[in-house]
Amino acid sequence: MDMKQLAVILMMMGVFVMPWIGTEGKVLAEQSKIKNENQVLNIAHRGASGYAPENTMAAFDKAFNMKADMFEIDVQMSKDGELVVIHDTTVDRTTDGTGKVGDLTYDELQQLDAGSFFGEEFAGEKIPTLGEVLDEYKGKIGILIEMKSPSLYPGIEEKIAEELKKRNLDKPNNDKIIVQSFEHNSVQAFHSILPDVPVGVLLSYSGDGISNEQMIEFSSYAEYVNPNMAMIDTELVERIHEYGMQTHPWTVRDQESADYLLEVGADGIITDYPDYVDPRK
């Protein structure tokens, strides 16, 4: 039994456990390398998708140039097993093609224009692979990897882990990689493969909030609880911190929302517009 599992058991027994002991202490020390004290992580959603076509190299370049701390990407799998970066489970909305991502081969996906939907100046942008993104940006900017609809792609957790291991991004000192998903079983599966890579649970809006039982479960394997921003207030941020985790709410698309999340103490802000977030506040 590791220290984090012991801490969870103690919390279930009603014993308060300081969140920085054991594994949590290591996690918080590692997080400090990308999140300085009193600094909110500025996380560009699908790249700087307010200014360039989402999930393309153009959007990631924009996020880097705008000095975001990290950018978020969505990873799925082609018919022939290539890890590709695209949000929707079909290509219809963001490319000039049609069909499900998982029904198209990598070569077929590469023929698509993933930029023109946003603006003519981005015509010809391609759907990148996870490997291409990691090779271009590792060491330059943090990367938040969302496993998108992983239940559609059996084995995607292992494939993502292999891409990280190939590039020495599976080590605890390389903490600019975080992996997350709405499918929490998938997050747990990934965590069991690469336990040193921080993971987060994504949550859609729920008027019921997050129960203590959920917090205990999440804290047994995750470092981050990332809910819809409409759920966030100071009390929830404090509860997440009490369980030894941090929070990166999503998705900010206006200045007022960014200011609110800064005020209530969010650890990071996932936004289409990195310039709405001053990470030094």
Catalytic residue among 87, 184, 191, 248: 87
Look at residue 127 and tell me whether its pLDDT is greater than 60.
yes
Domain count, the chain: 1
pLDDT at residue 24 greater than cutoff 70? no
In-domain check, residue 10? no
Is 45 noted as a catalytic residue in this protein?
Answer: yes
Hey, what's the torsion of the CAs at 110, 112, 116, 121, to 10 degrees?
Answer: 40
In a domain, 251, yes or no: yes
pLDDT of residue 269: 98
> Residue 83 belongs to what domain range?
38-276
Asked if residues 224 and 248 have their Cβ atoms less than 8 Å apart, the reply is yes
Q: Give a yes or no: residue 12 inside a domain.
A: no
Q: What is the pLDDT, as a whole number, of residue 19?
A: 46
Does residue 164 fall inside a structural domain? yes
Q: What is the pLDDT of residues 229-267, one digit of tens each?
A: 999 999 999 999 999 999 999 999 999 999 999 999 999
pLDDT at 39: 84
Alpha carbons 151 and 154: distance in angstroms, whole number: 6
Average of per-residue pLDDT values in the chain: 90
Residue 30 has pLDDT above 50, yes or no: no
Task: Let me know if 2 is exposed, middle or buried by CB neighbors in 10 A (0-12, 13-18, 19+).
Answer: exposed
Residue where the block lists tokens 């790249």: 47
The reply to whether 33 falls in a domain is no
- For residue 153, give every residue at least 6 positions away whose Cβ sits within 8 Å of its Cβ, in sequence order, or none: 76, 77, 102
CATH of the domain at 171: 3.20.20.190
- Beta-bridged to residue 230, according to DSSP, are none
- Is 50 exceeded by the pLDDT of residue 68? yes
Query: The whole model's pTM is what?
Result: 0.88
Is the distance from CB of 101 to CB of 89 less than 8 angstroms? yes
Cβ–Cβ < 8 Å for 72, 43 = yes
Catalytic pick among 45, 184, 191, 248: 45
Q: Cite the DSSP H helix spans in the chain.
A: 3-12, 22-31, 57-65, 106-110, 130-137, 156-166, 184-193, 212-219, 234-242, 255-264
Whether 241 is a known active-site residue: answer: no
CA–CA distance, 227 with 249 (Å, rounded to integer): 5
Is pLDDT at 20 greater than 60 in this prediction?
Answer: no
Question: SS3 string of 111-170?
Answer: CCCCCCCCCHHHCCCCCCEHHHHHHHHCCCCEEEEEECCHHHCCCHHHHHHHHHHHCCCC
79 is a domain residue: yes
How many CB atoms lie under 10 A from the CB of residue 90?
Answer: 16
pLDDT of 153-197, one tens digit each?
A: 999 999 999 999 999 999 866 559 999 999 999 999 999 999 999
At residue 115 the predicted structure's pLDDT band, cuts being 50, 70 and 90, is very high
Is a pLDDT exceeding 70 seen at residue 31?
Answer: no
So what's the pLDDT on residue 171? Answer: 84
pLDDT confidence of residue 13: 54
Assess if residue 2 is contained within a domain: no
Residue 108 lies in a domain: yes
